[in-house]
Amino acid sequence: MNKNRRSFVKKIGLALVVSPVASVLAKNNTVRSNNVNKPVVISTWNHGLDANAAAWEILKNNGSAVDAVEAGVRVPESDPNNTSVGLGGFPDRDGNVTLDACIMDQHQNCGSVAFLQGIQNPISVARLVMDKTPHVMLVGAGAKSFALKNGFKHENLLTDKAKKAWQEWVKKSKYQPIINVENHDTIGMLALDQNGNLSGACTTSGAAFKMNGRVGDSPIIGAGLYVDNEVGAATATGLGELVMKTVGSHLVVELMRQGLSPNEACKKAVERIAEKLDDYKKYQVGFLALNKKGECGSYCIQKGFNYAWKDEKNEKLVDAEYWVK
Ligand code: GLY
């Protein structure tokens, strides 16, 4: 080996020791890494920070991505002050808190619940649907009865805070989704574990003051969440109707399969909404994606969507790029 090559190899070796995961935040907010960046967990909005911390406890101890995402999103589900997920979620226009959630693992297994009432952690019911039934989705009374039979406890999920907000809303009874309301919404979480496996979870109380019986994108595999362990994973937040009409998360994963970065794929999915849906400017949708290399990206319709990112070196919020300037 000549001297120049030796010194080059030495420098590279040193760089690998000092920085086993050389990741940088590129201009377009895509996190690019020279090596596979794992483990890593990302999730939507500010509430993703605490959720990621819980998921990280599992990932750092060589736990599985699916266990990590379930544990992670249970945190905002159980937070009574979080008005868009689980306990304390804003009710529908008749005062009922109805919850939607789904989970997907590296083997294409998935579980989902929709229109579930009285159970604080719908994600764990979805996990049980995935693990213990031949089905993908249980809804309403059937989902509730399945949960109760499996040891989940019924509780009143309508907190005083949410009840007050609903009583205020009832005075005018005007249904109009508010963009980035309270800077949080659905939590969607994606993780890549130390074994290089991907999983995702998504959970919400849905659009505040929705019609009774309305189900959004969050429990719909392919809309609110999609995972393909060969390619990547994606999740969505914002007004579910727009995501369902374009099967957003599946689209993002398929675009990554075609070679797009997570950031580029999320941007294309937002472009699809803008092309197809006339009134998209009135609403917010944000996509979040993670690929097999541990690169992440996001894109949204309106300014204001952010995501929480945690890996060995980072624990922070990243603002998503947006379409409507
Ligand atoms: N993205 C949550 C919902 O629309 O229900």
pLDDT of residue 8: 37
Cα–Cα dist 213/32, whole Å: 42
pLDDT of residue 173: 82
Residues of the chain with pLDDT under 70: 1-34, 178-184
State the CATH architecture for 37-322.
4-Layer Sandwich (3.60)
Structure tokens belonging to residue 51 = 């959720």
pLDDT of residue 176: 72
How far does the centroid of ligand 1 lie from the alpha carbon of residue 187, in Å? 10
- Candidates 204, 245, 305: which one to mutate for ligand 1, based on the most atoms within 8 Å of Cβ? 204
Catalytic residue among 186, 203, 235, 237: 186
How far does the centroid of ligand 1 lie from the alpha carbon of residue 16, in Å? 42
How far does the centroid of ligand 1 lie from the alpha carbon of residue 23, in Å? 32
Contact 296, 30 (CB under 8 A): yes
pLDDT of residue 34: 55
Closest CA to 118 of 150, 141, 92: 141
- Candidates 90, 115, 217, 246: which one to mutate for ligand 1, based on the most atoms within 8 Å of Cβ? 217
Structure tokens belonging to residue 76 = 């905002």
pLDDT of residue 12: 36
237 is an active site residue? no
In DSSP notation, 69-118 reads HHHHHHHHHT-TT-TTSSTT----TTS---EEEEEE-TTS-EEEEEEE-S
pLDDT of residue 191: 98
pLDDT of residue 28: 45
